[in-house]
Structure 1
Amino acid sequence: MGGMLVLERSRDVMRTIIQRRWLALLAAALALGSAWAAPPQVVSELTVAQVTTVDGKTVLRPAPVSKPGDILEYRARYTNHSAAAVLGLVANLPIPAGTTLVDRSQIPPDALASTDSTHFAPLPLTRATRLADGSEQRVLVPIEEYRALRWSLGTLPPGGSAQVQARVRVNDVAPAGNGTAPAHPRG
């Protein structure tokens, strides 16, 4: 009979150990699930304004619609809502179809640029062109072909924010097939 008591106690101990392990596993799964459902550490906000001149001063106004020749300023603000610093923050700012980057309007000025929103290089962009004699020459890529800008912002401290911006001119006619959305509906 003493052997039965030891066997029952062993089963109870094993049941308790298994229950604790399942509870630990469940707690870990819930913690992981809540991490997936947690709000993002860095929130980005993109705004656009029309750039005008009033009495010799630059003024930014809301830009619900735009027309050819308008200058628009895009600003992307990144805010760290976490309690820890975010390392290696990279900011991307698309250049919408139907617009052309205004040369040297990017802030900070050390942006990289891209014609395909995938491959980035320092400004001004260049590409190799084959000459009639078979040699290659580097030529400037027309600024009208730029489709995105990128900045390496480094470390963003807890509660900190960083902003990038650039201006574009609305084109007369949007180039076909470049894969980005127009700046605004034309009015």
Structure 2
Amino acid sequence: MKRFKLLHNILLATLASTCLLSLNVAYADDALKMELTVNQVIKNAEGKIIYSPVRTAPAGTVVQYKAIYTNTINKDINDLMVTLPIPTNMTFTGEALPASAQASTDGKNYADMPLMRKVNDKLVKIPLSEYRSLRWNIKLLPANKSATVALNTTVN
């Protein structure tokens, strides 16, 4: 049974998570704080979704990576681009919050989901297993406020 190690994935996601601030305004290095949580996604008997902190999980477990970005300065931040990687031992489920996320198979080129490619002169959907990261454009992050992005994955 394959298992994932929470610490490794948090470190990977934290290191690979990037924030690109609009270039027309200079911000202090500490203008943005990011908090990453990793939770197992569980549906209870009533069909309600419950999120439970997880350290290890067997293959097939649905895990949510959620990043909360907080503007720590007294000035609005415009056009904030944030990216979360999909760890190599995980497969994206297709669920992202907000749903406006763009996806990438290489971490460089992003497009709206579902990602498509040409095969035998036909456009076909790229399998979710090939998605490597998601990116969101937070148009406005007001002073001293937070924005949350999340993606769900399945342990391979």
TM-score (norm 1): 0.65
Residues 92/137 of structure 1: CA separation in 2 closer, same or farther (3 Å cut): same
Amino acid aligned to 2:123: R
Q: Distance in 1 between matches of 2:44 and 2:117?
A: 40
How many Å apart are 1:39 and its aligned residue?
4.9
Specify which of 117, 134, 149 is matched with residue 149 of structure 1: 134
SS for the counterpart of 1:106 is strand
SS for the counterpart of 1:48 is strand
Q: Distance in 1 between matches of 2:32 and 2:59?
A: 34
How many Å apart are 1:91 and its aligned residue?
1.5
Matched-pair identity in %: 36
Structure 1: stretches of 5+ with no match in the other structure: 1-34, 172-187
Residue in 2 that maps onto 1:112: 102
How many Å apart are 1:107 and its aligned residue?
0.8
Structure 2: stretches of 5+ with no match in the other structure: 1-25
The RMSD of aligned alpha carbons is: 1.7
Specify which of 64, 76, 97 is matched with residue 73 of structure 1: 64
Q: Paired residues, what number?
A: 130
Specify which of 114, 118, 143 is matched with residue 158 of structure 1: 143
What are the Cα deviations for residues 22-65 of structure 1, in whole angstroms up to 9, with x where unaligned? xxxxxxxxxxxxx99x6510111111001123332221111111
Amino acid aligned to 2:89: G
Specify which of 51, 70, 87 is matched with residue 78 of structure 2: 87
Residue in 2 that maps onto 1:167: 152
How many Å apart are 1:140 and its aligned residue?
1.1
4+ residue runs over 4 A deviation:
none
Residue in 2 that maps onto 1:20: none
Identify the structure with the greater helix proportion: 1
Q: Distance in 1 between matches of 2:126 and 2:96?
A: 17
What are the Cα deviations for residues 157-187 of structure 1, in whole angstroms up to 9, with x where unaligned? 110110011111111xxxxxxxxxxxxxxxx
TM-score (norm 2): 0.78
Residue in 1 that maps onto 2:113: 123
SS for the counterpart of 2:129 is helix
Q: Distance in 1 between matches of 2:76 and 2:100?
A: 22
